[in-house]
Structure formats: structure tokens, C-alpha cells
Structure 1
Amino acid sequence: MLYWNDGGMNGWGIGPMTVSTLLLWALVVLGVIALVRYLSRTAPHGPAAPPVPPVTAPPMLPTPEQLLAERLARGEIEPDEYRARLATLRGAGGPADSG
């Protein structure tokens, strides 16, 4: 009773067997590809993650005294004007305090 057609396989058996065999091999190939990609990503000799830039402090803004000194160095103001403005910045009672 179990051995119809002399135990041979007819068209209804060959079709599902062919499809399932193809699916099995497709899964094996995809598994190998996924494994290779995973190992190449995590291997020490593989491409490394991009370096993280170091955390730096925001650039310091120059103080008013530094700006004044730069203007003197560029020749925009005379030394007498520099000293007067510097005294005003420091609160030493320049010409503005005389009145």
C-alpha cells in the first residue's frame, strides 16, 4: 500500500523536492555570505570604525585687553592712545573719570 508506482517518484514528488533542495542551497549560500560579512566587520584586521574626533573646548574669545594690544601691534593706534584705553579698561581713572 505504501509503495505506489513501484516506490518510484512521480511528478508530484519531484517538484516539491526540487524546490526544497533549491531553497536549502539558497539558505546555505546566504548563511555563508552573512557569516563572511559579519566576520569581516568584526575582525581586527578588517576596516576599523571611523575615529571619533577629540572633544575640544570652544575657541576662547580674545579679551578686550588682547584686542587693544593687537590694534597697537598692527599700528592702528599709537602707544599713548593704547595706554589711555588700557587704563580705562582696567578702571584706573583715565580721562573719562576726571569730570
Structure 2
Amino acid sequence: MMGGYGMMSGFGWLGMLTMLLFWIGVIALVVWALGNLFPARQATVDPDALEILKRRYARGEISHEEFVQARVALQ
């Protein structure tokens, strides 16, 4: 009655599925490209107490005896 131009003729469901997969692929490609273009920030990790102690000793803020005493207390 529709002369072969109905929904189920020709590509019909296969064409719709192909077009859906195409657009999903395009959207996924755009999301991937934007994700690589603007990478998420890495969370900064705060140094632990021993690292802070080592830095203070390296800067000369504490003496060797204070460093050793604090290191023993931390471990």
C-alpha cells in the first residue's frame, strides 16, 4: 500500500540502527577529544609528617638532634 517506502522496507530498522550507532560514535569521539584537550586536575597529595620533617631539616629550621628526636618519635 505504501509502495515499498514504509518503515520496514529498504534499510528500515537497519538504517535507523546504523544512524544511531553513528551518532553515538560521534558523541563519544567529541567527549574523548574534549577530555584529552582539557585533562582533569590531579589531586595534590599533602606530604606526610616525615617528609615535612626532612624538608625542615634541609632548610636548616631544626638541628640534627631535633631531627633525630622527631624522626624517632614519628616511627
TM range (shorter): 0.3 to 0.5
Taking structure 1 as the reference length, what is the TM-score of the superposition?
A: 0.38
Taking structure 2 as the reference length, what is the TM-score of the superposition?
A: 0.47
Answer 1 or 2: higher relative contact order, Cα 8 Å, separation at least 6: 2
